[in-house]
Structure 1
């Protein structure tokens, strides 16, 4: 069982590691849904923690479609990430409601050694089952898919998530990383139904549910105990 949590800076990352969180998603601008963090932030986080860090690669929040100008910016970011010792990114790209495989393959070619989480762009696909099949073509690169089953929250998307988890296991495809709207009040019911292996938490584990505040240590302790029992 993997507990992944969102962090925005070095302070968050240090606290997360001390609390026993398994993996981090490093982003900026959570008010925009999470964008590429600054060079300085990535550098400081990579220097201060030992747990895995997946760095967001998302140049803007307008959509998940990117043009050649966006690609050149992302390419420069990927080189910087590699230089800083980053080993994983969170990335997603669409074109006309489907996965933009041409751009995805550019990213993979640029950083073939990176561990990639395909993020919630997946929830805007016209056909998620087909999307899973497409991403399963890159087993050495796409390690997991962050999704809420195409709905606003995991609870609303739980039936589709169950289907995706089953399909991913049968096809040895990417892990389904369950996220959006998770909290300590609903995780037991959802985990009993989904039996996923990885869960992604944001504001649900923060004091007063705000990214301006630190992690709620009691909530993290509760989750780790729950996961250890599973």
Structure 2
């Protein structure tokens, strides 16, 4: 049995095929070419977003020093770090970890080493702003404040995303129904849907001080007022109007 697909505008070709089929004595069947996609398909996108208060503070403290040789300088920086760590670990509300510890040479115009410079850092992290500010103020007797940053915790980000996802899905459904009715359909069926999340990353607001800035005057002046992070959820996909 021979099968031929019918395409508009190909009448002459079909006649030649029919004559060949009749000559060969074979039965003939004509089939309409299927459409590439069903009618009534529609793509949509909806988004919900909100400014969420940043609930984690990150305070970096540092100490910089110079020396003629590298080994004593490294030992002095380590001593400062250990002293600050002992003070910081005496409490439980603020997490503490070391940051950068670097020792590098100072050179003259001829490229000869004339001395050594070094820097050590200590980072405080907590969602208890008052406790972090108090500890940072206490540690300014040992270290200087380098910067203060704020971020959104994973827990707060997930809670915001879950709420926004419901809002974005409701908006997607409302758009789909309204568009279907506007095109003369009574409803729709969801064919494909994707949900995307944004804003879970680190979005800092920072206060920086220069490398040789004077120590922070007092605990009360440490800035611990966080800002807000933008969290958004996007729902996109396609529906079949019916």
Q: Fold match, TM over 0.5?
A: no
What TM-score does the superposition give when structure 2 sets the normalisation length?
Answer: 0.22
Which structure shows the higher helix fraction?
A: 1
State the structure with bigger RCO (CA 8 A, min sep 6), 1 or 2. Answer: 2
